[in-house]
Chains A and B, each alone.
Chain A
Amino acid sequence: MALDRIEKLLAKYFEAETSIAEEKELKDYFASSDVAQHLEQYKPLFGYALQAKQEQFTATIPLTTKKRKSVVWLSVAASVAVLFGVGLFTYDSMSTPEPQNLGTIDDPEVAFKETQKALAMISESVNKGIGSISYLNEYEQSKNKIFKK
């Protein structure tokens, strides 16, 4: 590479009139092994520029906002689900239930008999219950014996 061209470029460089391409040319020249001796002093300047460009950002980028965003989204979804559930429940209980077949008996005679049967069953069970607690009287008597009034 012609030396006078490099010198011209250098002069332009210090006036900040070189283009990116011309500056690249200078960097290439000073990175090469055959730098003219009187220009040797500029070598570190261009060498440093190339070296400084190698430095990299190694830390992680904490994009925490993404997480917060999804939490907001989740809470919205949850409240919608709750509202929907409550709404469904109230809607269900407000609306009149459809008439169902509850086993109604139309004939009064049969109805009376059925009722008697049901009541008899209840009284039978109640009596059984009462019978099983009749021996509590024993306790009552012995208690009265001990704690005389």
Chain B
Amino acid sequence: MNQNEFMQLVNPFKDKLFRVAKRLLVSTEEAEDATQEVLVKLWNRNESLDSYNSVEAVAMTMTKNYCLDQLKSKRAGNMKIVHNNFTDREASLQQKVEDSDTWNWVERIMNDLPEQQKLIVQMRDIEEMEFEEMSTILEMNEQAIRTALSRARKTIREKMIKTHHYGIG
């Protein structure tokens, strides 16, 4: 497979990978790095790509694992503080500039979810993936995914309603 063919293979889902990475890592730069890393890894596996049923699913799994590793190593070191500072500052800046924009509320609520729920909501509600597909990528059974998804959606609803009423009152 040459570079062009690889790009054609990757193009339909590279944005998806990026969005999933960004959901987990929050910062755009880190999400870009993660996506690049995953795509380069994928490119290095060039020869064996044909043997996979779905390259997209493989890429998604790699992205998920890479981001979770990233988060884990960040938590182990001092980096966590840096990262939190960064996200906090970003949020407050956004808050000032466009506080009226309720979409940001949804985003911030989603950022507070546990990682697994973040991933599930991202895949289901934003990328509109089937449960079957998600279960292979997340290595979870469908029922567990449904349970987590329901829990995440309810959490978002609860917090949304709270802010909604708060906004009115």
Which residue numbers of A lie inside 8 Å of B, CB to CB?
Answer: 13-17, 20, 23-24, 41-45, 47-49, 51-53, 55-57, 59, 61-66
Which one of A16, A23, A44, A48 lies within 8 Å of B150 (CB-CB)? A16
Residues of A within 8 A of B6 (CB): 63
The residue in chain A whose Cβ has the minimal distance to the Cβ of B127 is A53
Given contact pairs A55-B18, A57-B14, A63-B6, A44 touches B40 in the complex (Cβ within 8 A): no
Which one of A13, A44, A49 lies within 8 Å of B126 (CB-CB)? A49
Residues of A within 8 A of B44 (CB): 65
Q: B52 near A: Cβ within 8 Å? A: no
Residues of A within 8 A of B105 (CB): 44
Is A41 a contact of B164 with CB atoms below 8 Å? yes
Q: B49 near A: Cβ within 8 Å? A: no
Q: B15 near A: Cβ within 8 Å? A: yes
Is B43 a contact of A63 with CB atoms below 8 Å? yes
Which one of B3, B102, B130, B153 lies within 8 Å of A44 (CB-CB)? B102
Is A61 a contact of B36 with CB atoms below 8 Å? yes
> Which secondary structure dominates where chain B touches chain A?
helix
Q: Please, how many angstroms separate the alpha-carbon atoms of A80 and B47 in the complex?
A: 25
How many Å from the CB of A68 to the closest CB on chain B?
Answer: 10
Q: Please, how many angstroms separate the alpha-carbon atoms of A47 and B105 in the complex?
A: 12
Residues of B within 8 A of A41 (CB): 160-161, 164
Q: Please, how many angstroms separate the alpha-carbon atoms of A48 and B15 in the complex?
A: 17
The residue in chain B whose Cβ has the minimal distance to the Cβ of A19 is B130
Is B32 a contact of A57 with CB atoms below 8 Å? yes
Is A52 a contact of B147 with CB atoms below 8 Å? no
Q: Please, how many angstroms separate the alpha-carbon atoms of A13 and B105 in the complex?
A: 20
Q: Please, how many angstroms separate the alpha-carbon atoms of A20 and B128 in the complex?
A: 6
How many Å from the CB of A27 to the closest CB on chain B?
Answer: 9
Known pairs A61-B14, A63-B43, A65-B43; list 11 more (Cβ under 8 Å): A14-B150, A15-B150, A20-B130, A41-B160, A41-B164, A45-B106, A57-B17, A59-B32, A63-B6, A64-B40, A66-B43
